[in-house]
């Protein structure tokens, strides 16, 4: 666990350094300061309002013990096992089997499951999935993923700004336009790769935490195998329109491409399953 947190901290430092470097490229020391202030303001906004925005984006409907006793009571039992506050519970009317957690901290968290995952998985498998999402909440991964996603988006914005308005070298002279073009292309790419590396690291830790909460790593492994087999063939239009939300899901909801592994927000499902089976054996 410590190794994953160290890796995440290093990656977060990298994305912050990249953000500051672009600011410095645009306007020297003043540009770096303004860029970091802008990034901080965006992170504060995301921290407080990202959960509402995402749930509204997916048209998620909140449920309780009366409207959806099966899912609600399952989450309540797992939250009690994890010694966590009860999160709000939502259902999303989507055929693709998937689930995610959101919220700024364990006291203000929500978990959501699609109708597709409720129909596809057995009770034990669904229990493993919801335990995985509660592990994200318990580890405060929501904060990390929100900051990384926000910073990646801000880096893209700053890189485009540098392209159209130019940058300055270390002596304050206008920068080479070729350097501006390179900045516009490479900086967002680097930020996205760092963001995805952070997401993959946290998914492994949530699998481990979810297995501990549920006490059933094999069922979570079985659930991942089922979701992976079916999710690729069932598009989720909201996720395709808002790919920045892909990292929140238990399985990447986006259609694949030639560089799917490099640009995936999630680790290879086979490796996740292998780790869970190893955990069960131990």
Is 133 a catalytic site residue? yes
CA angle 275, 276, 280 (to 5 degrees): 115
Q: Which of 94, 125, 133, 205 is catalytic?
A: 133
Per the listing, tokens 């979701």 go with: 227
Is residue 265 within 8 A of residue 100, CB to CB? The reply is no
Is residue 13 within 8 A of residue 117, CB to CB? The reply is no
Is residue 203 within 8 A of residue 98, CB to CB? The reply is no
CA-to-CA dists, residue 136 to 81, 131, 268, angstroms: 15, 9, 18
Which H or E run includes 20? helix 2-57
Sheet holding 109-114, edge to edge: 61-63, 88-92, 109-114, 99-103
Please give the distance of CA 190 from its chain centroid, rounded to a whole number: 17
Q: Which residues contact 268 (CB under 8 A, 6 or more apart)?
A: 261
Active site residues: 133
């Amino acid at each position: 666990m410590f190794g994953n947190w160290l890796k995440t901290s290093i990656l977060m430092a990298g994305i912050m350094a990249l953000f500051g470097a672009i600011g410095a490229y645009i306007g020297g020391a003043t540009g770096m300061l303004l860029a970091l202030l802008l990034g901080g303001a965006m992170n504060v906004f995301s921290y407080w309002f990202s959960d509402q925005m995402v749930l509204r984006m997916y048209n998620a409907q909140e449920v309780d013990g009366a409207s959806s006793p099966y899912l609600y009571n399952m989450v309540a039992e797992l939250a009690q096992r994890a010694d966590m506050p009860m999160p709000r519970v939502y259902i999303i009317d989507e055929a693709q089997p998937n689930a995610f957690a959101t919220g700024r901290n364990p006291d203000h968290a929500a978990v959501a499951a699609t109708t597709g995952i409720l129909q596809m998985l057995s009770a034990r498998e669904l229990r493993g999935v919801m335990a995985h999402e509660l592990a994200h909440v318990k580890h405060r991964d929501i904060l990390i993923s929100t900051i990384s996603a926000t910073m990646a988006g801000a880096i893209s914005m700053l890189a485009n700004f540098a392209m159209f308005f130019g940058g300055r070298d270390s002596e304050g002279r206008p920068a080479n336009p070729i350097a501006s073009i390179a900045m516009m292309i490479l900086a967002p790419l680097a930020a996205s790769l760092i963001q995805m590396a952070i997401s993959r690291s946290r998914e492994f830790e949530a699998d481990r935490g979810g297995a501990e909460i549920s006490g059933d790593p094999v069922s979570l492994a079985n659930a991942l195998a089922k979701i992976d087999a079916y999710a690729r063939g069932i598009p989720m239009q909201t996720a395709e329109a808002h790919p920045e939300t892909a990292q929140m899901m238990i399985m990447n909801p986006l259609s694949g491409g030639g560089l799917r592994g490099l640009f995936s927000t999630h680790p290879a499902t086979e490796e996740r399953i292998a780790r869970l089976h190893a955990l069960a054996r131990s």
